[in-house]
Structure 1
Amino acid sequence: MNRLKTSAAVLAAFSVLAAGPASAAGLSTQEKKLVAAAGAEEARSLALLETLVNINSGTLNVAGVQDVGKRLQTEFRGLGFDVRWVPMNEIGRAGHLVAVHKGSGKGKRMLLIGHMDTVFEPSSPFQKYVVRGDIAEGPGVNDMKGGLVIMIGALRAMKAAGTLKDADITVVLTGDEERAGRPLTTSRADLINAAKASDLALEFEGLAQENGKDMASIARRSSTDWTLKVTAKSGHSSGIFSDAAGYGAAYELARIVDAFRREAREVNATFNVGYMAAGTTAAANETDTGAAATGKTNIIPAQAVARGDLRTLSNAQTESIRAKMAAIVSQPLGGAKAEISFQDGYPAMAPSAGSRALLAKLNEVNRDLGLATMPELDPLKRGAGDIGFVGDLLPGLIGFGAAGEGAHAPGETMELKSLDRQTKRAALFMSRMARP
């Protein structure tokens, strides 16, 4: 069956699921046992969280990411999963953890997605796990080591209550979500292959909140980069704007980026100019963290460069905006030439009926746990993530991880109270999906 037919079949299945009668209100005897088991995991989960956060696993710290992976492999093997480590040495990354649990084959095949790396490399001064009242602070505590321990705690509760044995689950934990290794066809091959053999995806990154209310995510925007390079005739500044001299590289660069703003915008899409430079010479630095230019006030700039990102709500929208940007670039001012290139990054996961059907089931779980209904989060408020690589293949939900603040910055925190309710949510939701 081809990819389009597979997606259509999955969507139809979940549309029927959403339209069918709601499950009986309240918890069954087994589900009550499950919820109690999930609650009993808290102390163990907190201990595991401290251990994982205190291991530096910045994306480029290969040994640290592998150390986190070894500890998690032990956890999954103890739950009866077949576990393998997929090395990524050839692309300069630590590798990925893939764990598979074979169940009855009668329920939904679930893909659990997460990552073991953080943005905090060994050179960062932010390295230690600290608890202050109901808040834990530490590198990656929210993004996303809190989500890793919630995943483990939920699966342990399922095993204790007897609901794991029937569950068909594949776990893919990447080691480079924060700085994906290239080529992406290599670094995300195992994730995509797992999605093709699954019915739904659950991403255990952080729980989004608005005004203290838990929110659900069914979409993530893309994140790709673009580079604009301009060359032009140079000469004495007194000749600028003439037919012979033209307009120079600086005016052409300014024309293009302003035309992007005026002509290429679409709803739910953004594109940012991260940095730009123009002069007699202008070039980005080797680490793509800025640019340098040389020149004089009386010389027409011969070179210009700008770099930025593009974020969209669907992969079709990505192509649409790229085409608009390319069309703008293709109409240069006199005496100038320009070219734009796009560097593939994280694809978009667009909202879908199948994902909304899953959210309806999650809100049945919330009801039966005595928790508030979770509304959809505006996808503009959520960044890109690994689930985007499989968003066109199957429906999914995002945000089964911990609540917190300040991700990617020193002082990143996690709300410790979210650990209990997220573990219970995940355990009950997965147990219900595993049923025939």
Structure 2
Amino acid sequence: MNRKLGLALALAISCGANATAGALSPVEQRIVAEIKAHSPQAIALLEQSAKINSGTMNHEGVRAVGALFRQQFDQLGFKTEWIDMPPEMQRAGHLVATREGKQGKRLLLLGHLDTVFERDAKSPLWERQGERARGQGVSDMKGGDVAVIEALRALKQVGALENTTISVMFTGDEEEAGNPKSISRRDMVELAKRSDIALGFEGAVTRDGQAMGTVGRRATASFELDVKGHQAHSAGVFGSAGYGAVYEAARILDTFRREVVEPGLTYNPGVILGGTEVAYDDANSRGSAFGKTNVIANTATVKGDLRYLDYAQRDRTQARMREIVAQSLPGASAAITFHDSYPPMAVTPGNLKVLEQYSQASQDAGLGVVGSLPAEARGAGDIQFVAPYVDSLDGLGASGSGAHSPNEEVELASIERAAIRTAILIYRLTR
């Protein structure tokens, strides 16, 4: 984040923290009352959706959750459709619900139907534990999906959806986006281009009791090192036979660690294979290596993850990495390649404005100030594909813990809070 945006954010949060909570309008009070009155049914909907396994590769399960939520949007008067992906992509598809009007801002609401828990996962589908519930995807992100539906339901009940333009897209492959992403995210980008603001409902984060919105996310990318050495008897290492591929790989990675350092930048060599024979299966993320201790390794492969704040940081990082790779040890050589995946969600004045409006809605509802989560504190998310085209805010979903683990759980009351904040924000944006 540059200094100007940083000061703007600090000012916005400071002003929000010191502001006196404004009163809700009579219509907004009715919206809140509708959400609170319907909270038991919201929890029942979450339970119903959680009891359907919808791991990304369980296409039948993803479609079943999509059908469940589609019924809700149909009842709210949205036009709904299921968008299938090409069979070769091996993804279930996406649910889209739309309505068109001429009043206020045009909104795009994003969620996802899939979870990381595939058919054979041992984690419980649903276990109610007092005011919390444990289950597959309850916070990431079926709780957020339910919050979207509940916010829109309350707006419908008070007549506030009339003449508004709202698009909702629940993807079926957020946890493992289908390739090519130009196809799997094509419809999302097209919706964004016809919208003014995008809101994402990934799980809400709290710090020291304060809710935090997401105005930026780092891009995700990958790098691959292909290292070659001179195969020879190990007695010649460090001398005429050179250093071999494994030492060269180690030199490169350690130099990265020491010299390629910037705030918000990370890179992780997740897999390394070296020896005289190396094979790696990209589709299944596993490989094998053969070698002997008395033979200098002639090949090494490194697969890594790269995360950056913006394209300028990406370009600087890649240039410096290439320079380091080119400084080969005797008897070795290497090449590095990069592959972009998710684009960055840059921190922009527009994003900060949406956060300010969301925080004000929260304060007016008596739910407190919403702060800003650093971009490096969140992983990749669908909203990154639309952020280049539209002002965006993410992290508006339910609060929980243990995401992507057998202990994933959701604070059930957070669904009501998320729905209230969202409904008031949507109401104000669409006036």
Normalised to the residue count of structure 2, the TM-score between the two structures is 0.92
Change over 3 Å in CA distance of 1:333–1:288 after alignment to 2:
farther
Deviation, 1:334, is 2.3
Aligned to 1:188: 185
Aligned: 1:80 with 2:80: no
Aligned: 1:379 with 2:368: no
Aligned to 1:7: none
Spell out, residue by residue over 1:214-248, the C-alpha distance to the aligned partner (whole angstroms, 9 max, x if none). 11211111222222111111001122223x42210
Aligned-partner SS, 2:52:
coil
For 2:365, the aligned partner's letter is: L
Deviation, 1:364, is 1.4
For 1:128 and 1:278, locate their aligned partners in 2 and report how far apart those are by CA, in whole Å. 41
Spell out, residue by residue over 1:50-72, the C-alpha distance to the aligned partner (whole angstroms, 9 max, x if none). 11111111000111111111111
Aligned to 1:91: 89
Change over 3 Å in CA distance of 1:299–1:408 after alignment to 2:
same
Aligned to 1:30: 27
Aligned: 1:50 with 2:76: no
Q: Is the 8 A contact 2:107 2:165 kept in 1?
A: yes
Q: Is the 8 A contact 2:21 2:364 kept in 1?
A: no
For 1:55 and 1:163, locate their aligned partners in 2 and report how far apart those are by CA, in whole Å. 32
For 1:203 and 1:28, locate their aligned partners in 2 and report how far apart those are by CA, in whole Å. 25
Deviation, 1:185, is 0.5
For 2:100, the aligned partner's letter is: K
Alignment of 1:15-414 (within 5 A): 25-88=22-85, 89-103=87-101, 105-242=102-239, 244-414=240-410
Q: Is the 8 A contact 2:21 2:366 kept in 1?
A: no
Q: Is the 8 A contact 1:101 1:168 kept in 2?
A: yes
For 1:137 and 1:356, locate their aligned partners in 2 and report how far apart those are by CA, in whole Å. 33
* Number of equivalenced pairs: 415
For 2:104, the aligned partner's letter is: G
For 1:407 and 1:303, locate their aligned partners in 2 and report how far apart those are by CA, in whole Å. 38
Spell out, residue by residue over 1:298-339, the C-alpha distance to the aligned partner (whole angstroms, 9 max, x if none). 111011111110111223322332232223223322222212
For 2:246 and 2:417, locate their aligned partners in 1 and report how far apart those are by CA, in whole Å. 55
Spell out, residue by residue over 1:161-185, the C-alpha distance to the aligned partner (whole angstroms, 9 max, x if none). 1111132111111110111110010
Q: Is the 8 A contact 2:199 2:394 kept in 1?
A: yes
For 2:430 and 2:91, locate their aligned partners in 1 and report how far apart those are by CA, in whole Å. 33
Q: Is the 8 A contact 1:230 1:337 kept in 2?
A: yes
For 2:33, the aligned partner's letter is: A
Q: Is the 8 A contact 1:206 1:402 kept in 2?
A: yes
Spell out, residue by residue over 1:364-397, the C-alpha distance to the aligned partner (whole angstroms, 9 max, x if none). 1122111211111122211110111111111111
Q: Is the 8 A contact 1:283 1:304 kept in 2?
A: no
For 1:359 and 1:200, locate their aligned partners in 2 and report how far apart those are by CA, in whole Å. 11
Give the gaps of 5 or more residues in structure 1.
Answer: 1-14
Aligned-partner SS, 1:131:
strand
Normalised to the residue count of structure 1, the TM-score between the two structures is 0.91
Aligned to 2:428: 432
Change over 3 Å in CA distance of 1:403–1:395 after alignment to 2:
same
Q: What's the RMSD between the two structures over aligned residues?
A: 1.9
Q: Which moved more, 1:90-99 or 1:211-220?
A: 211-220
Q: Which moved more, 1:406-415 or 1:70-79?
A: 70-79
Deviation, 1:23, is 12
Q: Is the 8 A contact 2:124 2:134 kept in 1?
A: no
Show structure 1 runs of 4+ deviating over 6 A.
none
Aligned-partner SS, 1:121:
coil
Aligned to 1:8: none
Aligned-partner SS, 1:327:
helix
Deviation, 1:43, is 1.2
Deviation, 1:106, is 2.9
For 1:392 and 1:316, locate their aligned partners in 2 and report how far apart those are by CA, in whole Å. 15
For 1:144 and 1:112, locate their aligned partners in 2 and report how far apart those are by CA, in whole Å. 13
Q: Is the 8 A contact 1:282 1:303 kept in 2?
A: yes
Deviation, 1:288, is 4.8
Change over 3 Å in CA distance of 1:413–1:367 after alignment to 2:
same
For 1:234, the aligned partner's letter is: Q
Aligned-partner SS, 1:109:
strand
